[in-house]
């Protein structure tokens, strides 16, 4: 089974939207399920995926409070157990499991357990979602360097909210030249006229590498 993990340079960057695009392409040729292990701020993301993709979904902890999971857990007096999350993920039987993280790459799930820990311990193939606005180079390269250090280099990068400004094109080129990582997609979720192209073949090819 291939586990694809959608993570990002920050929160509110379009992970759920991009997850739906990837799922709707992959489900044409593969059996795929979706997992949002921990959700903060309600079940909006899970419901969005159900509505947009009509596939089986999994969720283990949902908090009403729209803050980092470790804090939402404290506020709502519900303890998060990373071992439980890993065990439940290991029991999901499908060809491809797309896992969406909460917040960004280093968001704490508990005080001592983070999104990047879950990526490592589930042997997932991460895809990094980033933006193209001013600051993109800094945000993206810091995330990539951290992922290198943790030995979870992403199989590729997807740029979201691209609007065609001259500096956005330079941001993308600088990140591509520096990281040498595959660019899987350049899309704009805020513009229905954008092509929203994601290279599914490249995702599968990179995920199948050892």
Percent of the chain residues past pLDDT 90, beyond the cut: 86
Beta bridge partners of 7: 128
Q: For 54-65, what is each residue's pLDDT tens digit?
A: 999 999 999 999
Mean pLDDT of 150-159: 96
Which of 15, 36, 79, 193 is flagged as catalytic?
A: 36
Determine whether 36 is an active site residue.
yes
- The pLDDT value given to residue 196: 63
∠59-65-69 over CA atoms, to 5°?
55
| Mean of pLDDT over the chain | 94
> Exposed, middle or buried by CB within 10 Å (0-12, 13-18, 19+), for 115?
buried
Provide the CA 189 distance to its chain's centre, in angstroms.
Answer: 15
Beta strands 108-110 and 2-8: pairing type? unpaired
Q: Tell me the pTM.
A: 0.95
Angle at 124 between CA 187 and CA 204, to 5 degrees: 55
Dig out the tokens for 34 from the structure: 């979706």
Cα 127 from chain centre: 6
CA nearest neighbour of 111 among 84, 152, 82, 85: 82
Helix extents (H) in 36-135: 44-53, 69-76, 82-90, 115-121
């Amino acid at each position: 089974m291939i586990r694809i993990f959608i993570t990002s340079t920050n929160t509110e960057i379009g992970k759920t939207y991009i997850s739906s695009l990837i799922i709707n392409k992959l489900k044409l040729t593969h059996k795929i399920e979706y997992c949002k292990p921990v959700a903060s701020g309600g079940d909006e993301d899970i419901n969005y995926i159900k509505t947009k993709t009509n596939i089986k979904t999994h969720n283990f902890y949902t908090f009403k409070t729209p803050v980092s999971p470790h804090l939402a857990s404290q506020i709502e007096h519900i303890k998060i157990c990373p071992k439980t999350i890993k065990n439940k993920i290991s029991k999901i039987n499908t060809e491809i499991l797309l896992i969406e993280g909460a917040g960004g790459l280093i968001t704490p799930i508990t005080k001592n357990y983070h999104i990047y820990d879950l990526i490592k311990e589930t042997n997932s193939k991460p895809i990094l979602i980033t933006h193209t606005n001013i600051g993109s180079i800094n945000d993206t390269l810091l995330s990539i360097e951290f992922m290198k250090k943790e030995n979870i280099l992403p199989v590729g990068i997807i740029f979201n909210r691209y609007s065609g400004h001259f500096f956005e094109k330079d941001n993308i080129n600088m990140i591509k030249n520096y990281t040498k990582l595959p660019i899987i997609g350049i899309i704009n979720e805020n513009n229905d006229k954008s092509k929203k192209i994601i290279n599914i073949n490249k995702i599968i090819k990179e995920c199948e590498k050892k």
